[in-house]
Each structure stands twice: as C-alpha cells, then as structure tokens.
Structure 1
Amino acid sequence: MLSFVEMFLPLIAVVLVICPLFYMGKKGVNAKNAKHKLIAQISIFAGVFALAMVFQLNGMVALAAEGANPVVSIVGTNAQGMGFLAAALSTSCSAIGAGIAVAAAAPAAIGAISENSDNFGKAIIFVALGEGVAIYGLLISILIMNKL
C-alpha cells in the first residue's frame, strides 16, 4: 500500500509546475516580462523533475535488490485481462480516430482532384496520414500483446 507521501508527492509536484501558469494567465504576459516568466517556469520544472528523480532513486535501489527473485507469470490474472483490454482499446480508438480523419479528408481530396488533376499527389497524402493513425494503434496493440 502506498504511504501518504507517495500518494500526494506527485500531486504537489504537478501543482508546483502548474501554479505559475495560472499566475501568468491572470496577470498577463507582455514582451518585457515574458522572458523572466519563461525562465522561472523552466527552472521550476527542472527543480521538480530533479526532486522526482531523487525520490525515485530510492525505489530503484529497492527494486534492484529484489531482482534476484524469479519472474512471476501473469497468465490467468487480472493483469493479463487488463493487458488485453489495453490492446483492444488502443486498436479500437485509433481505428475510430482514423475513420473520422479519413471521413473529413477523403471528400476534400476528391473535390481537389476533380478541380485539378495535378493535386492528386498532395491530396492523397492527407488521406494516408489519417490511415497512419490506425496503423500506429495496431502497432501499439501488437507491442502490448507481445508483453503478455
């Protein structure tokens, strides 16, 4: 079970990184103070990142000490079921997104080609980019299934 510090430390880190953004949005940014605010934001992010890495080093050492234990199989457990669900969601959501992209790009490509047939190469690229989203989702699901 996670301790109180392990549960709320990431929340505190996110708040430290996001708070200056709210301040900048409230006060406004002009050309004079934008550079200083950007440097402050980067410094806060770097500090929070460094603190997170320091806190993680202790966990990494503890995990390295347990490395001598044999690997436990997840076959037939809830973890395997969640892995299958993750693979299915990555494929289905990317396919839905690709369908929406192609539904918007294909009619526009057909219209552009009908006006000028020299636009075929330019128009087909946008349709292919929409299909690429589905291929990336399928690739992610294959990678997930290989880990199960």
Structure 2
Amino acid sequence: MVDTAAGFTSPLSAVLFFYVHGAATRVPVEETAFAARRPQWDVDVIGQWTDGAESARHTDWLRASWARAEEHLQGSAYVNHIATDDAPEKVRASFGPNLDRLRRIKGQYDPANLFRLNPNISPVAPQPRRPAD
C-alpha cells in the first residue's frame, strides 16, 4: 500500500483503511445485506481526477494497484467498494450467505433487473406459495 500511495497519479486519489468493529460486528450476518460483520480491516484505493483526458492513466494506476493488493485480500469486499467490473465471484463472496435471500428479494421487486448497472445481484423468480394443508 505504501508503494501504491507513492505512485499516485493524482493528488486527489487516496488509500483508506477502515476498521470494522463495535456495533457493526454485533448485528447477526443474516439480519442485513451487509455480510462483513466481524472485526476486520477494510482497505479502499480511490482514484480521482478532474481532467477527463487523463482517465486512462488514472484508471490504469487504479487497476494495477488493486491487482497488486488482491493476492493479499480475502476475495470479498465491503459492498460499497465493489466496482462494476469486479468479478462475479467477488460480488458473490462480498454478499456472503445473504446473496440467495437478496436474489429472491430482487426477483420480487426488480424481476427485469432494471437496477443492474452496479455490482449486480441477479434476480431469481419468487417461488409460488403452496396452499396450507
């Protein structure tokens, strides 16, 4: 991370560390969509710039920075830090045991997957309810 920060291509970029602990870790995993409910450090590498003509250079730096870091990470991320081009496996791992429930909810409220321009949770059709005996 020190090398990443030393190679910033923009003074607006950042490497941030967040310690997830306290109240966030006391809520059971299945109670919310957020599955990272254990004490842990989270890292975020952010590329920011103002000149659109420089996008390729900054994006290359950002992708290279993550590529170096990925081998040291657990394969999941805080869901607000998932990029739209992250692998589906990372998205699944980040939602953890909540993914199946979230897919069913999405199937109920967004079956056409209109809200898909994000780390997508693909919807599954709700199962019909069986009549009570």
Higher helix share: 1
Higher normalized contact order (CA 8 Å, seq sep 6+, divided by chain length)? 1
TM-score between both structures, scaled by the size of structure 2: 0.33
| Structure with bigger gyration radius | 1
Higher strand share: 2
